[in-house]
Each structure stands twice: as C-alpha cells, then as structure tokens.
Amino acid sequence: MNVLIVEDEISLAKEIASFLKSENFLCDLAFTGNEASEKIAVNLYDFVLLDLGLPDYDGLDLIREACELGSEASFIVITARGAVEDKVKGLDLGADDYLAKPFALVELLSRINAVARRKFNIVSPDIVLGDFIMKAQARKLVCNEKEVDLTKKEYDLLHYLVLNRGKVLTRQQLYEHIWGNILDDQYDSNFIDVHIKNLRRKMNQHAPAPWLETVRGVGYRVSDE
C-alpha cells in the first residue's frame, strides 16, 4: 500500500519510511505542508502519516484539503501535541487514529493494520476466494494446502484487489498503489494486464478463479459473491 509520511524531522521521516518499506509498504516523504499538499492533490495514497506541527502549515488544514478533494486516504496523526482538543479536532475532521511522540515503530504498524482492517472490513487474516485461501500474515495464496508460486508484486496486486473486494479498480489505481506514483513517460497500462494474465495462469494450474474479473474498458475486480 502507498503511504505519504508528512514529517519535518527528516531523520524521523526516513526512519519511519525505512521501517515501513521493510514491511512491504510504498512510501513518499514530505517535509513541509506545502509539499504534502501538492502530493495529496495529485497522487493516490492509502495512508497519510501526518505531523500536525509543521513549520509552514497547520496539519489539520491538510486533513480538510484532502476531504475537499475526495481523497480516500486514511490519516494517522503523529505529533508531539498531546492536548485533548488537538486530538478531538483531528478526529472530528476525519483522522482515523492519533499517535503521540515518542512511539515505537511496531506500535505504528499495529495502528496502520488496525485502521486497514476497519477500512476494508477485514474480519479474519485468512480470506477465502473460491478454492483459494489468501493468508495475509504469511503473504501466501494457498489452494488445497498447496502454495501458489506468486512473485511479491503479483501477491501485492491480488491482495489489493481483495482488500477492495467488489470494487472496480482501474489500471492506473492498481499501478499507483502497487508500484508507486506514476511518471507519465513511464506508465504503460499493459503492464497491469501482463501481471493479471500471469496471476490467472498460475492460479488456473491449481483451480479456476472466476472471481478475478475483467471489467472491459475500465480495469479489474475481485467479485464479492
């Protein structure tokens, strides 16, 4: 998943990014409010980790802007501010959680996972897909107790479709959430098609996967039936 880290303490921002990348997240960094505002306006993020005490911006204004833009990003406020009124303002504006400094990186990861479970209505880490079971904690797709041999990106692509089960995702959305923000001169919509084709081929060696649907002219969907 794609995360924007908005933090003016550069060393802390890089430490968070390094940790989350080791946990298979994509990370963008913004060290000022203006930089963050520009990135939120043009890019698709699953999470924004937001420091309220930015030198050029009130972090609460970034939450307001994101809501006005219709951003689907989940905000976790990370700040040294501990006043109850700051927490209330952030949550009232649409923040999903609040984490006070200093904090442990494993706690941050736990908060992100908890928000993701609520956001995507995940009840169990094991998700049944016809004859297949996606074991999210182990990052495996299994069919009749045999593991399907997926690459890291193939797994990430399928997992993101599963998280958004029932929702049609465009090729551009899938590319940005799995490979990072699109550079116009590098984007090739066939890139996603090739990976979906490989996914289907590998799964069909084990069992049919009719739940992985192509929506012609738009993108792909994992059926919620």
Residues 130-176 have pLDDT tens digits of 999 999 888 999 999 999 999 999 999 999 999 999 999 998 889 88
- CATH code, domain with 205: 1.10.10.10
Q: Which of 119, 137, 153 is the last residue of a domain?
A: 119
Q: 41-58 pLDDT, tens per residue? A: 988 899 999 998 888 988
| Euclidean distance between CA atoms 62 and 71, whole angstroms | 11
- 109 lies in the same domain as 6: yes
- 190 lies in the same domain as 92: no
Integer CA distances (angstroms), 185 to 27, 94, 109, 175, 182, in order: 21, 35, 33, 14, 9
Q: 52-103 pLDDT, tens per residue? A: 888 898 888 899 999 888 888 999 998 776 666 767 777 787 889 988 888 9
Task: Give the model's pLDDT for residue 70.
Answer: 87
